[in-house]
Amino acid sequence: MKPTDLLQVADALLNVSAGRPSQAAVRRAASTVYYALFHFVARECADLLIGGSSAARSKPAWVQTYRALEHGYCRAQCENAGVIKKFPKAIEDFASVFVELQRRRHIADYDPAAKFSKPAIIRDADFAEKAMKEFRSVPKADRRAFCAWVLLRPPRR
């Protein structure tokens, strides 16, 4: 699943009609923007730890790595300021956007009284797109370290 495809789906939900989109469409778009970011991280983990599509890689290992990313654990690792601040600024910013968009996704999906606006979701999609672009500008070693950080749990003692 391509993160850019999910951002296009969010945009389509926001522009399904000529007038103001329904709250259902806007809330679904908010959720979809977060999932674009989540699938971006999952793909980065699999590509950087197992190998990209042009690499000689094990497809089952790639899928297992992609699917191993957990929403809550990734968020908790992104919130660990003591470690995240050691990464380049683009990764620190990415982690911040990830946490905020996941928080908004939870509100969109689980708070029936919450209201969302089309401009706010467009802004979130822009933040997500920028965060992904800047993440990719960071050296591969730092991106790989981040992926290990959000994916792999330390051994139990």
Residue 14 tokens read as 């926001």
Residue 32 tokens read as 């979809």
Q: Give mean pLDDT in consecutive 10-residue pieces for the chain, a chain of 157 residues.
A: 92 86 94 97 96 83 96 98 97 98 97 94 97 98 98 89
Report which residue type is found at 1: M
CA-closest candidate to residue 44, choices 126, 144, 133: 144
At residue 61, the pLDDT reads 94
- How far is it between the farthest Cα atoms of the chain? 58
Q: Where are the domains of the chain?
A: 3-151
**Residues near 111 by beta carbon (within 8 Å), at least 6 away in sequence:** none
Residue 37 tokens read as 């970011």
3-state secondary structure of 96: helix
